[in-house]
Amino acid sequence: MGGIEIKDVRFTYPGQTAPTLCGVDLTVQEGEFLSLIGPSGCGKSTLLRLLAGLERPDSGALLCSGAPVTGPGSDRGVVFQSPALFPWMTALDNVAFAIRKASRTTSKRDARAAAEQSLVRVGLQDQLTALPGQLSGGQQQRVAIARALATGCKTLLLDEPFSALDPKNRFALQELLLSLWEEKHKTVLFVTHDMDEAILLGDRIAFMEPGKIIKRHKVDFPRPRQRETLLISPQCCSLRTELLSLFYKWGEAAEVNP
Beta bridge partners of 37: 207
Q: What's the half-sphere exposure (Cβ side, CA atoms, 13 Å) at 55?
A: 19
> How many residues contact ligand ADP, by CB under 6 A?
11
- Helices 91-102 and 137-150: crossing angle, nearest 10°? 20
* 41 is a contact residue toward ligand ADP (CB under 6 A): yes
* 16 is a contact residue toward ligand ADP (CB under 6 A): yes
Pairing of strands 76-79, 155-159: parallel
* 161 is a contact residue toward ligand ADP (CB under 6 A): no
With CB under 6 A as the contact rule, the residue among 4, 6, 42, 189 that binds ligand ADP is: 42
φ/ψ (deg, to 5) at 77: -95, 135
**Rounded Cα distance, 48 and 30, in Å:** 17
With CB under 6 A as the contact rule, the residue among 35, 45, 94, 174 that binds ligand ADP is: 45
x/- string (CB under 6 A) for ligand ADP, residues 220-249?
A: ------------------------------
**Rounded Cα distance, 209 and 39, in Å:** 7
Residue 207: CB minimum distance to ligand ADP, A: 11
Q: How many CB atoms lie within 10 A of CB 89?
A: 14
* 66 is a contact residue toward ligand ADP (CB under 6 A): no
Which region among 41-49, 100-108, 144-152, 180-188 touches ligand ADP (by CB under 6 A)?
A: 41-49
With CB under 6 A as the contact rule, the residue among 5, 11, 20, 76 that binds ligand ADP is: 20
Residue 43: CB minimum distance to ligand ADP, A: 4
Q: Cite the beta strand spans of 29-181 per DSSP E.
A: 33-37, 59-64, 67-68, 76-79, 155-159
SS3 185: coil
**Rounded Cα distance, 90 and 147, in Å:** 12
Which region among 22-30, 33-41, 68-76, 111-119 touches ligand ADP (by CB under 6 A)?
A: 33-41
Residue 44 or residue 170: which is nearer to ligand ADP going by CB? 44
* 127 is a contact residue toward ligand ADP (CB under 6 A): no
CB within 8 A of 2, min separation 6: which ones? 29, 30, 31, 65, 66, 154, 187
Which region among 35-43, 133-141, 167-175, 215-223 touches ligand ADP (by CB under 6 A)?
A: 35-43
User: Which amino acid, residue 7?
Assistant: K
With CB under 6 A as the contact rule, the residue among 46, 94, 127, 141 that binds ligand ADP is: 46
Residue 110 or residue 252: which is nearer to ligand ADP going by CB? 252
Residue 38 or residue 57: which is nearer to ligand ADP going by CB? 38
φ/ψ (deg, to 5) at 237: -60, -40
* 83 is a contact residue toward ligand ADP (CB under 6 A): no
Residue 69 DSSP class:
P
**Residue ranges that bind ligand ADP, judged by CB under 6 A:** 13, 16, 20, 38, 40-46
